[in-house]
Amino acid sequence: MPTLTGAICTVSDPDPKRKLDDLDAKLNAYKAGRKVEKAHQEEHYSQANIAWRMVTEMVAGLGIGFGIGYGLDVLLGTKPLLMVVFALLGIAAGINVMLRTAKEVQAKQGSGPQSGTGPERAKADRPDGGTNDNARLTGADEGKRDGD
- The length of the chain is 148
CA distance 93 to 99: 10
Res. 32 pLDDT band, cuts 50 70 90: confident
- Predicted TM-score (pTM) of this structure: 0.48
User: Tell me: the pLDDT tens digits for 85-138?
Assistant: 999 999 999 999 999 999 999 998 886 555 555 556 556 556 666 666 555 555
Q: For residues 32 and 70, which has the higher predicted lDDT (pLDDT)?
A: 70
Cβ atoms 87, 61 nearer than 8 A: no
Regarding predicted confidence, which is higher, 39 or 72? 72
